[in-house]
Amino acid sequence: MGSERKSFVRIFTAGCLWGTIGVFVKLMESRGSSSSYTSFLRLLFGSVILALITLILDGPKAFMIGKNTLISCILLGTVSRGLFNVCYSTSIRMNGMSVASVLLYTAPVFTGVMSFILFGERLDGKKKAALFINLTGCALTATGGKLGVVALAPVGLLAGIGAGLTYGTTPVFGRIAMKEKSSPLAVAAYNLAFGCIFVALFSRPWDTATVIVSGKLILYGVLFGLVPTALANGIYFSGLSGITRTSRVPVVASVELVVANIIGLLAFRENFSVVRGIGIVMVLISIALFSGDGAGQEK
């Protein structure tokens, strides 16, 4: 297996871990946590846990990163984490989950455009077709084909597009951050920490939580910070360090949506239609096409 193929396997694994996010959100909200407080605890515990893992595996010198890497980590934390959460939650509140999900999964398009501008990556006809399959599959999986005719709030529409854009910056800023050969774990820890600071300053989550401290809430927060946050992001940035085709990353990571739907079906008895099944198959096909050996054309 080639080194870049192994990197895509890491991205895929991170996406699978991200697919468990809904479980922890439901558990924490059942204990009185608001969405902003849940995000805050996730980023707080995730950054602390990942910092400890980095210290154990890579040593204290791993935290000595270059200026460009630090700037990239700040952008990852504030834009790809903090601003993304603001845009996505606004989109959900104003236009509903289905519309917000479809707009979010425009992220590969934004990543592709930024990768072309910054890194000279081009997509051949086959990969453009794979991107179209991915976008269509994500839309079907997220909505079950029941988006319907809706009146979109302009601000919510812009927020949804903003969520796709900010989510799409993650592999771009991540690739820039990894140029100085910094520790992937340290980079992930820094961006989670900056994201936590952004959420804390912007939304003051402790003002909106019904229950600030309880044993189960903290336990769920720690597990949320460990599984789909610290571990997922550590694996993700480890994968990014070996990627030269950034535009393919969000497509491979879109397996998150597949895992989330399977968990919803098995654990929460959520409705699962033939249309959603078709969408899942389309997403998996697009991932297989994008993680193949063939390199995209370069400018």
Ordered DSSP codes for 195-217: HHHHHHHHH-GGGT-S-S--HHH
In a domain, 60, yes or no: yes
In a domain, 295, yes or no: no
In a domain, 206, yes or no: yes
Confidence of residue 292 (pLDDT cuts 50, 70, 90): low
Confidence of residue 94 (pLDDT cuts 50, 70, 90): confident
Residue 267, pLDDT score: 85
Give the structural domain span for 144. Answer: 3-290
In a domain, 52, yes or no: yes
Q: Which residue has 């959460």 as its token pair? A: 85
Distance CA 87, CA 107 (A): 13
Is residue 298 helix, strand or coil? Answer: strand
User: How much is the mean pLDDT over the chain?
Assistant: 88
In a domain, 16, yes or no: yes
Q: Which residue has the higher pLDDT, 108 or 207?
A: 108
Confidence of residue 297 (pLDDT cuts 50, 70, 90): very low
Distance CA 217, CA 198 (A): 22
Work out the average pLDDT over 141-169.
82
Q: What are phi and psi of 116, to 5 degrees?
A: -65, -45
- Cα 251 to chain centroid distance, Å, stands at 11
What is the amino acid identity at position 165?
L
**pLDDT per residue as tens digits for the range 20-40:** 998 998 898 888 888 888 889
Confidence of residue 296 (pLDDT cuts 50, 70, 90): very low
- Kindly tell me if the per-residue pLDDT of 150 is higher than 80: no
Q: Which residue has 């697919």 as its token pair? A: 19
- Region for 120 from its dihedrals, namely left if φ exceeds 0, alpha if ψ lies in -120 to 50, beta otherwise: left
Q: What are phi and psi of 124, to 5 degrees?
A: -80, 180
In a domain, 219, yes or no: yes
Please count the structural domains in the chain: 1
Confidence of residue 74 (pLDDT cuts 50, 70, 90): very high
In a domain, 299, yes or no: no
In a domain, 137, yes or no: yes
Q: What does the block give as tokens for 230?
A: 């610290």
Confidence of residue 298 (pLDDT cuts 50, 70, 90): very low
Residue 157, pLDDT score: 87
**pLDDT per residue as tens digits for the range 185-194:** 999 999 999 9
